[in-house]
């Protein structure tokens, strides 16, 4: 058996974590022969609920789960971790704008960045799930200068999975038949779900999704809108935000980061922008990436339509605004200290 790795999940008493912890502890992310020590971090009012989660994990009798460390102390939560799922954030309520979330979350992710910097392994892989995920990841990274910035990413895999599911349903094919759907930009309603590079396998032949669907009105209209607004639709129906699907997407994201992508396949991750595809530099922007040896690389040389370029410009502008706003919140916090 391999040496155990330490994995932290924040917001560990919450809805997403309730599905996520089980998936991680079963070996669906780091492999079926990788023992795990799970660190469960949450805020003091959630301690009672956290105890119940610890009991349930014990009652699952999972062979790979070596130890569970429940804590409210970031110093304990982030100690020697190799992977971090930052799920805990100020939640979004129905009718709430993302901008309202920013100032509350900036403080949370500053604290977590500082704790990662001091206590985590330097090669830790950090996945931010809590919204606004892109800007939270940016803030977190800026307070962890000793950890490479490419080790911080934001989750847009839920959007990718949502988009892939919509296309598979539209074409009447299994999910596994659709590859290389891209999410560009922010994990918000400005994101651009792009089927322009995607491939579908049907009756043994591979063709482009654009040709298979043969309806630009759909691909530029209701497809994009459905994916952009899916989170709000789930909240309206469930009276709570996406949890099971968010947990599955977090597992998919970290699994591919850890184990790599298949040849000629790419996945969407929010990562630091180098200005590719005319995106603003130094924001966390969702790109198609290929992954080898736990290192992601932005897929280059894709041809974008004018429609796509317009959409990328809109989401890029929003991310730049969010970044500027987050930095001004941080500046005012610093001057108030």
Cβ atoms of 90 and 101 within 8 Å: the answer is: yes
Residues 312 and 333: their CA atoms lie apart, in Å, by: 31
Residues 37 and 21: their CA atoms lie apart, in Å, by: 11
Distances (CA, A) of 119 to 143, 144, 153, 336: 13, 10, 19, 26
Selecting among 39, 187, 253, 255, the annotated active-site residue is 187
Distances (CA, A) of 257 to 11, 149, 334: 22, 15, 34
**Residues with Cβ within 8 Å of residue 174, at least 6 apart in sequence:** 168
**187 noted as active-site residue:** yes
Omega within 30 of 0 (cis) for the link into 132: yes
Residues 333 and 99: their CA atoms lie apart, in Å, by: 17
Residue 60's Cα: distance from chain center in Å? 26
Distances (CA, A) of 221 to 179, 216, 264, 288, 292: 20, 8, 28, 21, 34
Binding positions for NAD(+) are: 42, 105, 129-131
First to last CA, the chain: 48
Residues 48 and 36: their CA atoms lie apart, in Å, by: 23
Residues 151 and 126: their CA atoms lie apart, in Å, by: 6
Give me the DSSP letters along 174-231. -GGGEE--EEEB-SSTT-EEE-TT-EEEETTEEEEHHHHH--HHHHHTHHHHHHHTHH
Binding positions for substrate are: 92, 98, 131, 162
Max distance between CA atoms of the chain, in angstroms, equals 64
Binding positions are: 42, 92, 98, 105, 129-131, 162
> For residue 146, how many other CB atoms are within 10 A of its CB?
9
Which positions are annotated as active-site residues?
Answer: 187
């Amino acid at each position: 058996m391999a040496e155990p790795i330490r994995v932290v999940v924040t917001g560990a008493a919450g809805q997403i974590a309730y599905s996520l912890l089980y998936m991680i502890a079963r070996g669906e992310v780091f492999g079926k022969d990788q023992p795990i020590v799970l660190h469960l971090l949450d805020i003091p009012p959630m301690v009672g609920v956290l105890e119940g989660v610890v009991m349930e994990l014990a009652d699952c009798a999972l062979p790979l789960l070596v130890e569970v460390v429940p804590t409210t102390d970031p110093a304990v939560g982030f100690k020697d971790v190799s992977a971090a799922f930052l799920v805990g954030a100020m939640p979004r309520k129905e009718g709430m704008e993302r901008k309202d979330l920013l100032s509350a979350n900036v403080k949370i992710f500053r604290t977590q960045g500082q704790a990662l910097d001091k206590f985590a392994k330097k090669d830790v892989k950090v996945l931010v799930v809590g919204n606004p995920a892109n800007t939270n990841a940016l803030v977190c990274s800026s307070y962890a200068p000793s950890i490479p910035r490419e080790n911080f990413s934001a989750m847009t895999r839920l959007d990718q999975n949502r988009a892939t599911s919509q296309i598979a349903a539209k074409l009447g094919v299994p999910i596994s038949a659709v590859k290389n759907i891209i999410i560009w930009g922010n994990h918000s309603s400005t994101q651009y779900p792009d089927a322009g590079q995607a491939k579908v396998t049907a009756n043994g032949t591979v063709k482009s999704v654009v040709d298979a669907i043969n309806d630009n009105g759909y691909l530029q209209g209701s497809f994009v809108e459905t994916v952009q607004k899916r989170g709000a639709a789930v909240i309206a129906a469930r009276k709570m935000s996406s949890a099971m699907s968010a947990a599955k997407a977090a597992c998919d994201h970290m699994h591919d980061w850890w184990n790599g992508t298949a040849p000629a396949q790419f996945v969407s991750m929010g990562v630091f922008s180098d200005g590719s595809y005319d995106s603003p530099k130094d924001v966390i922007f969702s790109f198609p990436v290929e992954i080898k040896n736990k290192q992601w690389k932005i897929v280059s040389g894709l041809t974008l339509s004018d429609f796509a370029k317009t959409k990328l410009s809109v989401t890029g502008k929003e991310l730049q605004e969010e970044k500027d706003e987050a930095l001004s919140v941080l500046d005012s916090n610093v001057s108030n200290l």
